[in-house]
Structure formats: structure tokens, C-alpha cells
Amino acid sequence: MRELKAFDKEHILHPYAPANPTAEMQFVKSATGVYLELEDGRRVIDGMSSWWSVIHGYNVAELNDAATTQLAKMSHVMFGGLTHESAIKLAQRLLAITDKSLEYLFFSDSGSVSVEVALKMAFQFWSSQGNREKTKILAFSKGYHGDTFGAMSVCDPVTGMHSAFEGILHKNIFADAPECAFEASWSEEYIEDFKAKLEAHHKEIAAVIVEPIVQGAGGMRIYSPHFLKRVRELCDAYNVLLILDEVATGFGRTGRLFAYEYAGIAPDILCVGKALTGGYMSLAATLTTKAVMAGVEANGNVLMHGPTFMANPLACAVANASLELLLNSPWQKRVEGIEEILQVELGRCNALEIVKEVRILGAIGVVELHRAVDLAWMTPEFIERGVWVRPFLNLVYIMPPFVIPKEELEQLSKAIFEVIEAYEKR
């Protein structure tokens, strides 16, 4: 084990971390239910759902069976000129549970790539019809859409993670981040900057992209459904496509199957991923309308994208099993139960002076601090209390699996309070 970890430290690059990191990587031997088993045998409750994807927990019999059954048939086959049952059934399921206006979908490898495909759709929609002016995307400050180049170009350009690439990214337009809390009384002042940017630049804007209701890795911000509703109305008024990035929020995380349902709207293009396979495989999809595809294919054009592992049969089979497991479960009651416990348990953090705000929606709990977290100090403190939490910036947040028992969720919440309390005294 020691030799393996030494090799990892010397040769393997981890996300957003330096080569030869000073902080020790935690070695995971196995995972079952909501627990990760570490190298020394300690079991920790996973509060992160492995970056928000493992909604059913780990080592799930139904998903294991789906994978092994598909593996016996074929693990992969190219999607160019070929198709297969798992992809067709998954497409049927996704189109059935999303808005009825969405009639086409494109499978890809990851959430970032689903955003790339969405951007290509938007640009091709206009260019294929002869409009060469619409070459910009209107995005939001504090937004995050992925780490590939197109996706980076619509992430927050100032406080985001991609300033190293500023000089070579496509230049887009940014509106102020939504400032209206989820239950805030509505005022048109909240939408003024977005409206002004759209009015001034709509002739060059191909699409607007936004994370509905919850801005994820850009700051874990939760905002009013009325804001999203007005975004849809203004996109219609100025003849601009609307892309909704539900990679993080899709499949029940916010308390609705898709976060856009809170606003009673539908997108022109929808991106989904992460929890699509229950965290077993990397898979994503970009869904769109018949009108968008008609525009993309005007004058004999086709959508120009084609990943090697597009619609991978193994991933599609697991995704089918994951969606069946989700939809046949009391997921709404589970998420409501998580939200209720977090309101009480994480709400205790409001009593700490270091805490700026506690935000909770569905199975999302966020504690924003007045100062940046010390990850190297906090990580072992959380593990000592039997939980796995991965803070960033000035945020300590959790997105636990939907199946987490009450006792484990309370232990997770208690650990967050205790660690933040101890951090305040440092």
C-alpha cells in the first residue's frame, strides 16, 4: 500500500492539485452504501456523493447486475452507423422524464462535453441558417460549466478556476450572478443587468447558458425560480436560445427531478450528466427541441461532434438501471427528509461567528464562511469524525446520497458544526 501511494504521489496528477502534493491522498479500498473504507480500515460517511453523482450509494446490487449483464453482451461498440438497445431505451427514458418539447438527444462522455455539444448546437443553429453575427454566449458571473475549452469560456472569468487560459478562450458576455435568494420577494431590479446585456448584445448572442436554481462549483449559490422564469421570457423576447446546465442539479438533487421545474419553464437545450449513471460510469447527454435541430441541419448541415465512447453500451445499461431505481423509489420523500434534517442540524452553524450564511435546498447543504477554508487542516479533522467532506473556497458543503440514513446524516452534520467551530478558534 505504501509503495502504491508513493507512486501516486510521484507520478499521478489529481484535480486542482500540484504535482507531488504536500497533502496526503486518502486511499480508498472499497465503498458500500454511504461509506468509503480507507486503507487503515476506517469507514467514513461520504457527504459528497463522489462529486454529486452517487445518488443511490455504493455497490448497489441493481446497478452491479446491469453492468455485468451488459458486459456479457458487449462493453462497447461505436455509435457511428450503429445503434444498440441500451442507448435506445435510455433515450426513451430521458425524453419521457424531461419536458415534452425536448425530442432529440446526443450522448457524450461527461458533463463538460455535454456543454460543448450544447454550445455547438447553439452556434450551428444560427450559422447553418446564414446568421454569422451570433457568435457569443451570454453567461453569468459565479457560473461553472466544466473544464473543457468551450465550457471554460462560459465559466466565471474573474473568480473562476480558469484564469490561466484567459488569453486564449473564446470571449463571451457575462451578466451579474443572480442575487435573489430562493424564497425572496421578486423585484425586477434582480434581472436588470441581464436584461441590459441581452438588449445591448442580442444581435451577437447565440444563446444564454445558466445553471438553473443552483450555481454549483462557482459558489454553491441558490437563487429564485422567478429569476429563471424571467431569463426564459427575455430569451424569447430577444430571439436567443436558452441552454440549461443540469449536470449537477438533475435527477432529483434539488427536490425536483430537474431544477428548471421550479420555474415552470423549459430550455431549448438541456445538459445532464453526473448522477445519470448513479456514479458508476461517465456518461452525459444533451437534449434539444425539434426546432433547434431543424436550424442546426438547415442547408444540409449536421451537428459536428462524435466522441469515440458516445452512447457506450455499458454506461447506458447502468444509466437505465439507475433511472429505474430512482423513479421507482420514494426519492422525493428521501430528499425532503434530507432537507428537513439539514435545516435543523446545519442550521446550528448560524450561531458561529465565522459563518456568513447557511443555504439548503433538497439534498444540498452549504455553509459559507467569512474566510477561506484550510483544506489541509479540515480534511483530517473530518476523517477523525468519520466523514468525508471536501470544502473549497470559503464553502463547507455536502450533497449526500439520497439513501443516507438519518443517523449517518446527523453524524455528518454534527461533524461539520464541530469542525467549523474548531476552525473558528484557530
The set of cell numbers assigned to 337 is: 427528509
Residues in the chain, pLDDT under 50: none
The closest of 230, 287, 296 to 263, measured between CA atoms, is 230
Residue 285 β-bridge partners: 107, 272
Q: How many angstroms separate the CA atoms of 409 and 400, rounded? A: 8
pLDDT for residue 28: 96
* 313-327 helix and 85-97 helix, angle to the nearest 10 degrees: 40
Residue ranges of the chain assigned to CATH 3.40.640.10:
74-327
* Residue that the C-alpha cell 472499497 belongs to: 30
Q: How many angstroms separate the CA atoms of 57 and 401, rounded? A: 6
The set of cell numbers assigned to 63 is: 446497478
The set of cell numbers assigned to 276 is: 445519470
Q: How many angstroms separate the CA atoms of 86 and 190, rounded? A: 44
pLDDT for residue 315: 98
pLDDT for residue 167: 83
Label residue 174 left, alpha or beta by phi (over 0 means left) and psi (-120 to 50 means alpha).
beta
Q: How many angstroms separate the CA atoms of 199 and 372, rounded? A: 37
pLDDT for residue 2: 85
Residue ranges of the chain assigned to CATH 3.90.1150.10:
2-60+330-424
Tell me: the pLDDT tens digits for 175-220? 999 999 999 999 999 999 999 999 999 999 999 999 999 999 999 9
Tell me: the pLDDT tens digits for 30-89? 999 999 999 999 999 999 999 999 999 999 999 999 999 999 999 999 999 999 999 999
* 331-345 helix and 406-424 helix, angle to the nearest 10 degrees: 30
Max Cα separation, the chain? 66
pLDDT for residue 121: 98
* 375-384 helix and 406-424 helix, angle to the nearest 10 degrees: 140
CB 346 within 8 A of CB 413: yes
* Contacts of 82 by beta carbon, 8 Å cutoff, 6+ apart: none
Instruction: Assess if CATH 2.60.120.470 describes domain 74-327.
Output: no
* Contacts of 215 by beta carbon, 8 Å cutoff, 6+ apart: 140, 142, 143, 144, 177, 178, 221, 222, 223
Q: How many angstroms separate the CA atoms of 351 and 295, rounded? A: 54
Indicate which residues carry an active-site annotation: 16, 144, 245, 274
Residue 214 β-bridge partners: 222
- The CA radius of gyration of the chain, in Å to the nearest whole number, is 22
CB 243 within 8 A of CB 208: yes
* Residue that the C-alpha cell 444509466 belongs to: 319
CATH class, range 2-60+330-424: alpha beta
The closest of 56, 94, 3 to 404, measured between CA atoms, is 56
